[in-house]
Chains A and B, each alone.
Chain A
């Protein structure tokens, strides 16, 4: 199923139609993105995705480096010792040395941010704060429309599972959140879940915006209990994307569940999933568990 569109037109015009056309309210509404950074490979993927999203969505980008207060405290403990990653040797954590290492870490992250955002036209700022990681990220997220996180950031082991801090943020954040694992990218095809809600509309608008960037393919999972509902939802999406030059396909999830979604996503080697975070069937802990399992980048629309 393909939504028809006129070829050879200015992509900017096409984007405008996608954002403002139809009878839906507004578009993605993302004007400020916060990317939470640490030195991990997960954060690198997050940074790359953030640069791309900011550029694509025309949003301001804030790079946030949180110096974990717990690491600082470790140096003050009488028996504070660390085990080397590669040497596996145990050594005393010295305050002075730790300060220096944290400074170097912040410098590295700042440099990566500067390089990654070099070609972005919108405003990009880098902030360094000290405190408990979840609290500082949530504080910054309160002022943003989207938060981007590396899945295993601040985690002791980069296992591809959600780190405790990330899980904490995801549980409390109010803004849309993109979570990526190391070596994954914001790329086609876009897959979006539409449930007929306002968040669902926002999810579709965001997905269309990202997919339209490269004349890509958009897969819409319709959360519907029956075929009629599915048909209605499909019609709504079609109307919304009538002028978009996108190849749109639909799949109905009559028994919507995280496991079913995980199964479908797992069979695609590439691509990104956009979920309305309020979707009934996908809410709460189930989404977190889904995020824990999947290796695909997932954008939770809030």
Chain B
């Protein structure tokens, strides 16, 4: 028997950090870490993304949760924003030509509010100025003159007609719907009998007279609308002239003040035109000027309260005011906005409605800004998952970014859910750098399935979950911990605690040569350790507090692990940890439970018989095995055929099963265990049940690395320890996983004491020798394996099966099928 792999020395099982090598007593002495560590690629990408101004170079920060994507991105955004000027204020004002399409006006930071206040003041002055103008003697006199002119026209025409009527003994009579001409005698209309008494000629003359008067009456009535129109026009002209005189000066002051902003000046022109057009609505209607009809209306409405005139005035005033949706008067630099609830409306803004007289109404004052408005001219930070899970938010974001403008549209209207009258505000030009952050899957899915995404997010900042664990990085990590402790306001950590944290960081990534970059997890651990230290009344957090925090975290999460361990110890789940069995082996698997994962042994059995060279994966047959697991099993057939049946049919039928497994199995980490079970079955050699196995295998029989090696070892160790460590127990792991070992202290201790062993295996031959205690054997110059070796036994058994199969007449067709 050649020299098989020797158990690992305990020093290989855990890479300690010597607290003495840390150049401080507590984190109080540690200098703050200002640089980002462990993310050179992401940092470089962020720098690039921040530096490039062209359209579409927005940034997607990808990586697992808690790795610091948001905080790093925010940091970059804030640093950049500090050097950039405060962005524009944005206001909405009424569009007097089309109320439903309010105008957007951008003004330098702080000017928006000033403009709003100026307009408020102006509107307040309208009332006084217009009242003064319209109550002036000049206006009243001119108005009276216009109206009198109209009355005179009318009166003259009617009086002439009435005079003629009187002369002709006919009279104009008012009917409910008009006027009539009738012959009269002594003030009363002639009766039919009186007319009958007239001669035919007289009757005809009378009728002709009446008809003539009717025609004249028609002619006058036809002229009345023209006179009225003319009077209205002249009154309007007079009103416009007076209103212009009254408010022109006031508006001119603002025109001068805002002469640098053409949109404001244009708006002021429109305001002036509109005020002039509606000047009369500003005037109070009191006593004598109030129409009787209106008084009756008020009486009908109960007399008091806000009259229609006041409502009209208020509505008019509202039209001239300004809705500042983005006010940067307090900003000293560009904004960095994080929208933690990126709904459609929170992103692009919304148009609110209010109930008035039982109906929903809106105007430009009810336009509310969204995150894009607030971030305009600066930076917007969004969680990709949240954006994607909010209905229509992602589409709206893309549309705005692509168009370079924010167009507020009512979602309800867009989807035809409501038909209430709404607005179509003028879009606001958009200039914003958007930072999305999320996991890699989202990024790759979006890249693959959304053609727009790649155009809009051209910069990917890929955050790595781990960083190299070398001396320099350990020192930086210690500074990172110190910084985090200070920022979180925690008690100082002594160097023992920091050393333990660094070790645990390596354990978190399952690699003794790496450290985790998941700051969130590390931060949680810091806070929990701080809690335990405080509970103990300690002013400094020690390694014991850190260990207690780790243990407590595990304890809170490992209820299922305990239940499974109990099931094994009570022999409900059958796992042998001593003796030997043919075709039976303890494989090791991982069960992930959210943040927590643990390993446990699983009995794998193999049965072989004559067949067509197929290895049946029972898990796959019942659809409990995943594709990677199935691949691992199929590789076994390849290995067996290549090694033992190169020149003859592999006349084997083997079945493999994970005993007492009732859920999905995925991964190929059990493939070496399955191969050992097969070899044991074929060779008829028992496998030591005190050894558990993990590792995948390739067709050449090489053992390959797997994940979760620490948890797997600990899972089997816990069973063995509970049953009593015999010194014969251990685990075979791929040699390439040795660097991943960061085992629990009790495991390391047991190995150091020789009561538990970890075997690194590079090949299947090494593993089978450990498991059976029999040499695997190497093919000699004669092409045969040495007698008594595992390989010789397997080869012989397969040859026997091939022979027997041949006796049974196995056809070439079947062989081809192999």
Contact = CB atoms under 8 A, between A and B. Distances in A.
- Identify which of B159, B178, B191, B207 gathers the most chain A CB atoms within 10 Å of its CB: B178
A102 B140 CA distance: 39
A105 B178 CA distance: 13
Contact of A155 (B174, B178, B183, B184): B174
A90 B221 CA distance: 11
Interface string B205-224: 00100110010011001100
B37 interface: no
A233 to B, nearest CB: 29
B189 interface: yes
Given A48-B292, A132-B188, A156-B179, A185 B287 contact: yes
A70 B184 CA distance: 9
A74 B189 contact: yes
A77 B214 contact: no
A160 interface: yes
Interface string A62-91: 000000111101101111111111101110
A80 B171 CA distance: 12
A243 B211 CA distance: 64
B295 interface: yes
B296 interface: yes
Nearest to B303: A119
B210 A132 contact: no
A44 B292 contact: yes
A80 B182 CA distance: 7
Contacts of A93: 175, 180
A84 B195 contact: no
Nearest to A49: B292
B174 A156 contact: yes
A183 interface: yes
A116 B296 contact: yes
Contacts of B287: 185, 187, 270
Contacts of A159: 151, 154-155, 158-159
A240 to B, nearest CB: 28
Contacts of A173: none
A115 B296 contact: yes
Contact of A44 (B172, B190, B293): B293
Contacts of A48: 292, 295-296
B445 interface: no
B370 to A, nearest CB: 51
B195 A77 contact: yes
Contact of B299 (A76, A79, A115, A269): A115
Nearest to A108: B176
Nearest to A45: B292
Interface residues of B, number: 46
B307 interface: no
A184 interface: yes
Contacts of A80: 180, 182
A77 B192 contact: yes
Contact of B188 (A73, A81, A269): A73
B187 interface: yes
A302 interface: no
A77 B182 contact: yes
Given A70-B182, A77-B190, A156-B158, A84 B177 contact: yes
Contacts of B191: 73, 76
A113 B616 CA distance: 103
B221 A83 contact: yes
Most buried by A among B175, B183, B299: B175
A102 B176 contact: yes
Contacts of A44: 292-293, 296
B175 A74 contact: yes
Contacts of A250: none
A41 interface: yes
Contacts of A71: 173-176, 180
B207 A79 contact: yes
A221 interface: no
A185 B182 contact: no
A156 B162 contact: yes
A157 to B, nearest CB: 4
A137 B311 CA distance: 41
B376 to A, nearest CB: 54
